[in-house]
Amino acid sequence: MTDFPANSGSAEDLLAKVALGDRNAFRALYEATSPHLFAVALRILRKREWAEEALQDAYVQIWNKAGTFRPTAGSAGAWMSTIVRYRALDHLRRKPREEQAEEYHDLPDTQDLVRRLIDTTDLQVCFEDLTAEQQRAVGLAYIEGLSHAELSDRLDSPLGTVKSWVRRGLQALKECLTR
């Protein structure tokens, strides 16, 4: 006979309950995850108002799609941050970033961030296979949602060069992660 397992409140558990229509679990999930997801949206959209809209879109989708989450395919946090990124990118599609529209200046440097956050995952090991330029290009594109043209501006390098950093960076990651 097994012990009685504790009914823990991990994001995975909460998401499972959300899939069954449990509104209180949804509220608990929101409380636990929204500061993180809001930060993800804010880094891409840089306007609080837009990030709030993207966050709303994301949680509506999380409520509707919770049943499609598969714990075997990754963490609940990864699944949800993927959703919020897509909603933020959709937002950029509808309302391209205006020049100088940034309300949000106190961001820590993305490159520092990339270094700090890839410390405990497979990605760290593999990220080391990339050149510094490739790391910067892939990291900035992911975290800030920058297009090739924006990367080219930010990294002060020709468009073709930047595209190749992204492409080769992805190829190196793929090779390393599937080795």
Per CB under 8 A, contacts with another protein among 51-70 are 51-52, 55-56, 59-60, 63, 67
For the chain, give the secondary structure using H, E and C: CCCCCCCCCCHHHHHHHHHCCCHHHHHHHHHHHHHHHHHHHHHHHCCHHHHHHHHHHHHHHHHHHHHHCCHHHCCHHHHHHHHHHHHHHHHHHHCCCCCCCCCCCCCCCHHHHHHHHCCCCHHHHHHCCCCHHHHHHHHHHHHHCCCHHHHHHHCCCCHHHHHHHHHHHHHHHHHHHCC
Residue 147 in the binding site for another protein (CB under 8 A): yes
Residue 155 in the binding site for another protein (CB under 8 A): no
Nearer to another protein, 4 or 156 (CB): 4
Residue 7 in the binding site for another protein (CB under 8 A): yes
Residue 71 in the binding site for another protein (CB under 8 A): yes
**Contacting another protein within 98-137 (CB under 8 A):** 108, 113-114, 117-118, 121-124
Residue 95 in the binding site for another protein (CB under 8 A): no
Residue 94 in the binding site for another protein (CB under 8 A): no
